[in-house]
Amino acid sequence: MNKEIYVFLLMMCKDKYTAEDIMQETFIAVYENAGRFKVFDNPKAWIYTIAKNKMLNTLKKNSRAASLDALEDSIEDTTQTENAVLDKIRAEALLSVLSEQDKKIVILHAVYGLKHREIAELTGLPLGTVTRRYKESIEKMRKKNMAEKNNGELFFKSNNQNEVII
């Protein structure tokens, strides 16, 4: 009888360990409810019914857990996407106070990590001009950010060397 129940459960759930667990739960339920069994009933059908109900309960629990996991993943993905979009909007708003040349200097340094010397070579501007324009641009963006604080958080932060950290 054990083997028949096990095979029945294995066919339903397709997982060896889950079938074993449910089989144990089934026989515990049979033992606990033996007093309710009527002699004129079919004992095999009664045990299969208990096994089937235990299996369905387990499948429901597992599907809820899987749904919750999927929902949590979905919420996390949505939150990351929203944060990325908000960051892009804030960056665009801050960069909007700059000229095209100054935007290029800030992006090349802050985003791509180029040194001021490399930016000077790339743009054809003198090194002193690149450095001055970068510092002035950062100051303009800080002032705009202070005027448009978002929940008390500054979008741009600086480190000890007055470099922007995005």
Residue 8 is predicted with a pLDDT of: 78
Please name which of 105, 87, 101 lies closest in space to residue 157, comparing C-alpha atoms.
87
DSSP lists the bridge partners of residue 74 as none
Q: Look up the CATH architecture of domain 96-165.
A: Orthogonal Bundle (1.10)
Residue 61 is predicted with a pLDDT of: 79
Enter the pTM of the model: 0.42
* In the predicted structure, residue 56 carries a pLDDT above the cut 80: yes
Q: Which residue has the tokens 């499948």?
A: 59
The tens digit of pLDDT for each residue in 96-128 reads: 888 888 988 888 888 778 889 888 888 889 999
Query: In this structure, what token pair is assigned to residue 139?
Result: 């100051």
Q: Which residue has the tokens 């009527």?
A: 38
Cα–Cα distance measured from residue 3 to residue 119, given in angstroms and rounded to the nearest whole number: 75
Cα–Cα distance measured from residue 37 to residue 43, given in angstroms and rounded to the nearest whole number: 8
Domain boundaries along the sequence of the chain: 2-70, 96-165
* In the predicted structure, residue 133 carries a pLDDT above the cut 90: yes
Residues 6+ apart with CB under 8 A from 58: 13, 18, 21, 22
Angle value at C-alpha 151, between 148 and 152, nearest 5 degrees: 80
Please name which of 140, 137, 138, 145 lies closest in space to residue 159, comparing C-alpha atoms.
138
* In the predicted structure, residue 166 carries a pLDDT above the cut 50: no
In a 3-state reduction of DSSP, which class is residue 94?
A: helix
157 membership: H or E segment, kind and range: strand 157-158
CATH numeric code, 2-70: 1.10.1740.10
